[in-house]
Amino acid sequence: MAPQRCGRPKSWRKTVIVGAGPVGSLAALYAANRGDEVEVYEMRADLRDTTTTPLNFTKSINLALSERGIKALHGSGYDGLLDSIFATTIPMHGRMIHTKSRSGQFVEEAQAYDVHGRFQRSVDRNELNRCLLNKLETMPNVTLHFQQKLTGADFKRKKAWFEDLKSAKAETSSSRAVRAQELEVPFDLMIGADGAHSAVRFHMMKFARVNYTQDYIDCLWSEFTMKPDMLAKYPHGYRISPNHLHIWPAGSSMFIALPSPGGTFICTLFGPVALFSQLEKACADNDNNAFVAVFDELFPGVTQHIPADELVSEFKKNPHLPLINIKCTPHHFSSSAVIVGDSANAMVPFYGQGMNAGLESVQVLFDIIDRSKFAQSRSEAGFSQHGDEEIDWTDPEQCLAAALQEYTNIRTPDTYAIADLALGNYAEMRSGVVNGGYKLRKWVEEKLDKWVPSLGWKTQYARVSFGHERYSEVIEKARRQGTVLNAAFDVIGLGAVGGIAFYVWKYTRLGRS
């Protein structure tokens, strides 16, 4: 396990973290472990309370915990934390592709994630959050504040203002409409981990010149539950293999299922707006047969595992939500504010890297801060050369400002890269997984990885999910491998065509003779 850091000297910082989700909670652990006085503010009620309503009014998509997230959790330095999290996860060794043969038979095809047997872990966001918050609650230099809404921040004077939503509810319950009490909070550093619609980012943009883009793709998602059946062939009542991520690819849409403890699968429908409109019309017309017919055509076999009435009921009950891509830079302002996770780079969920990238960002941020804290010069800190400004490395403020600038320099291209990779993986999951060209390239790359490791060949998926290379470097290496493979395939193809042409020519000559 990583060494405990409790022996470090007390930090000079008061660190305020906005957002108590997995990324914000991990940031609080890292800050607390460095001796900071940490205060965590969350707009929702205690996230460990099962009655707390999520911000999008639905259960979150089940998450895949991969190597980057595991490394970041391990780096927090707390013995037993990772073990408690692993106890709530289920190993997924690969994808299980569900299709229908020409003869009408349901077909399952397993595709391993990794040629070396490495796997991802299906994790419930709430369970992960609970483990992190429980640990934070035991720490004497951490205070958790729930139902506190960030309403303003002055990042030059380093003050923030929060509304106490509990006070508003208490007073309005007595039939008096009274504004919520406001609390002024001073800080040395604010870390924004409050999601795609981040209040920290919104207020930071008043001080920093932030380049910002927000894109919605033509895709909605809705959640379903596949309940256990104790007569099923798998343990604990799992209807399908619990050690795979299940995909029903349908070209422009897909249906996926991730295992949860207790025999349940959390399932998600992804599809264009037109598909959701078609299903919504069937519901409005009370035409369950039409609704089920769409599922049977696109996602063969789903209705064998989720009864038709439950499928229709959950589609009516659960929200149909959009998917958003957010990119911005810089990720900080001076020495007072920095944003991580979805606050800085919200992405579509098709690479399973949203949470993992957010957790990794926390580790990258604090590694850079650590280097700056004990550095005597920029070169000693290992920072890239940007600008000609002189930094007094004995001044904590200047050190922190330099560290946050370096974090922006390093992390921005990587967050842009994984956002692009996630978009590209949507096409792979909904159609590429049954494509012959995709399977051939995957087979070649995996064989080279296994039998000639000195070449350094790996699939893009293995680099992203089981490695720690920067996302921007992964894209470049995958591009180079693709260029070489395409050239090789072209040579093989030309050779085959040339051989056929030669034999046709020779046969023709012999025939004439």
Q: Which range has the worst mean pLDDT, 22-26, 27-31, 175-179, 444-448?
A: 175-179
- Three-state DSSP class for 192? strand
Say what the pLDDT of residue 508 is: 53
Cβ(147)–Cβ(44) below 8 Å:
yes
Residue 4's pLDDT band (cuts 50, 70, 90): very low
Name the class of domain 14-88+124-210+330-429. alpha beta
Residue 500 has pLDDT above 80, yes or no: no
Say what the pLDDT of residue 138 is: 94
What integer is the mean pLDDT of 463-479?
91
Say what the pLDDT of residue 373 is: 76
21/365 Cα distance (integer angstroms): 17
What integer is the mean pLDDT of 472-494?
77
Say what the pLDDT of residue 458 is: 87
Give pLDDT tens digits for 189-225: 999 999 999 999 999 999 999 999 999 999 999 999 9
Mean pLDDT value across the chain:
87
Give pLDDT tens digits for 352-383: 899 999 999 999 999 999 998 776 676 777 78
Residue 41's pLDDT band (cuts 50, 70, 90): very high
Q: Which range has the worst mean pLDDT, 161-175, 199-213, 222-236, 289-303?
A: 161-175
Joined together, the tokens standing for residue 198 give: 């981040």
Say what the pLDDT of residue 37 is: 96
Q: Which range has the worst mean pLDDT, 16-25, 202-211, 436-445?
A: 436-445
Say what the pLDDT of residue 230 is: 87
Give pLDDT tens digits for 238-284: 999 999 999 999 989 999 999 998 999 999 999 999 999 999 999 99
What integer is the mean pLDDT of 109-131?
92
pTM for this predicted structure: 0.88
What integer is the mean pLDDT of 176-190?
86
Residue 128 has pLDDT above 70, yes or no: yes
Residue 2's pLDDT band (cuts 50, 70, 90): very low
Say what the pLDDT of residue 237 is: 93
Residue 20 has pLDDT above 50, yes or no: yes
Can you name the residues that pair with 163 across neighbouring β-strands?
149, 182
DSSP symbol at 153: E
What integer is the mean pLDDT of 312-327?
94
What integer is the mean pLDDT of 230-240?
90
Residue 407 has pLDDT above 50, yes or no: yes
23/177 Cα distance (integer angstroms): 35
Q: What share of the chain has pLDDT > 90, as a percent?
A: 65
In angstroms, the Cα distances linking 174 to 149, 165, 170, 430, 477 are 22, 15, 7, 52, 63
Q: What share of the chain has pLDDT > 70, as a percent?
A: 86
Burial bucket for residue 138 (CB in 10 Å: 0-12, 13-18, 19+): exposed
Residue 9's pLDDT band (cuts 50, 70, 90): very low
Cβ within 8 Å of residue 498, ≥6 positions away: none
Say what the pLDDT of residue 57 is: 43
Q: Which range has the worst mean pLDDT, 55-59, 251-255, 446-450?
A: 55-59
Burial bucket for residue 296 (CB in 10 Å: 0-12, 13-18, 19+): middle
Residue 416 has pLDDT above 70, yes or no: yes
What integer is the mean pLDDT of 396-406?
93
Q: Which range has the worst mean pLDDT, 251-265, 365-379, 434-448, 489-503?
A: 489-503
Say what the pLDDT of residue 131 is: 95
Residue 168 has pLDDT above 80, yes or no: no
Q: Which residue ranges make up each domain of the chain?
A: 14-88+124-210+330-429, 216-322, 444-512
Residue 102's pLDDT band (cuts 50, 70, 90): confident
- The closest alpha carbon to 403, from 372, 441, 424, belongs to 372
